[in-house]
Amino acid sequence: MTAPRTLVVLDAPSNLGLRPPAPGTVPGCYKLAGALREQRIVQRLGALEGGVVVPPRYDRGDWQEGDGVFNAAALAAYTRTLADRIEGHVRAGEFPVVLGGDCSIQLGASLALRRIGRYGLAAVDASHDFRHPGNSDRIGAAGGEEVALATGRGQDDLTDLEGLKPYLRDEDVRFFGIRDAFEDDRAELAALKIPTVTVADIREWGADALARATAEAFGTPDLDGFWVHLDADVLDPSVMPAVDSPDPAGLLPGELVALLRPLVHSPHCAGFNVTIYDPDLDPDGTAGALLADIVVDAFGRP
């Protein structure tokens, strides 16, 4: 039996990859880490303290539609800094649990693991975050584009940091929890042979069985391991309304735990991040408490 790895909780409270929720405001997902810490997530996980990677200021300046990804220079700098921290933990044999932040923090994990070798990505998300210049004229928010960027699609100042483009190969990416209504998005992924598992698929085939098969597939000798990316919007809005895009017909908490548990317990899993929950949209804190419970349950006894 594989010895349990040391979990290290690391805060990555960046909101650089999201559009403002209203003029003159900033996205509140930078408070995610603090909210989960209020739920004693570090102690409940039995994790070590990894500290904080402080993000640059959110400032889109005079950015306009058509200018590419906003906050690009800040995102590039933050990606490298976060990658330094994640890389250090992985090389030390530790398991980083990264509290976001928006989904652009996943670029830090992908860059870190690309420095080490070849890793896959299990993205548990309501949307594919695969917007790029080849399929959209509304490029700008890296939080909806990070998988495309990590696979080398988009501007070089984000896709080719340290000359390591791409950080992820298409064939090493798996999506889980995509909403069944996003048929057009799935067509492009299918053409690229990127497996996409919808909510309906999860319910038909079983979350545990799908996750175990995926973890086993990531154990191929061609790969050094894989990372798990969780976007809180994969949950149904009835239980997780505190996200920027609360699309209906999502997973329920038990289904998400059943999906995550075999992934994070796999000996091939290198780390985990959670993103997008916005405490500003959760005044009584119930959604944040639920999200903390889900993460803790996922890391519990397999």
273 phi, psi to nearest 5 deg: -135, 155
Q: What's the topology of domain 6-299?
A: Arginase; Chain A (3.40.800)
Residues facing residue 235 across a β-bridge: 251
Cis bond before residue 253 (omega within 30° of 0): no
Mean pLDDT for the chain overall: 95
Residue 75 and residue 54: Cα distance in Å, rounded?
12
Instruction: Evaluate if residue 4 carries a pLDDT over 90.
Output: no
With a CB cutoff of 8 Å and minimum separation 6, the contacts of 97 are 7, 8, 9, 10, 45, 47, 271, 272, 273, 274, 295, 299
Q: What is the mean pLDDT of residues 188-204?
A: 94
**Which uninterrupted H or E stretch holds 175?**
strand 173-178
136/185 Cα distance (integer angstroms): 11
Q: Does the pTM exceed 0.85?
A: yes
pLDDT at 171 over 50: yes
Cis peptide, bond prior to residue 250, ω within 30 of zero:
no
β partners of residue 178: 198
Confidence of residue 5 (pLDDT cuts 50, 70, 90): confident
Query: What are the residue boundaries of the structural domains of the chain, listed by start?
Result: 6-299
The tokens 């509304």 sit on which residue? 138
Q: pLDDT band at 185, cuts 50/70/90?
A: confident
CB atoms within 10 A of CB 291: 27
How many CA atoms lie less than 13 Å away from 177 in the CB half-sphere?
29
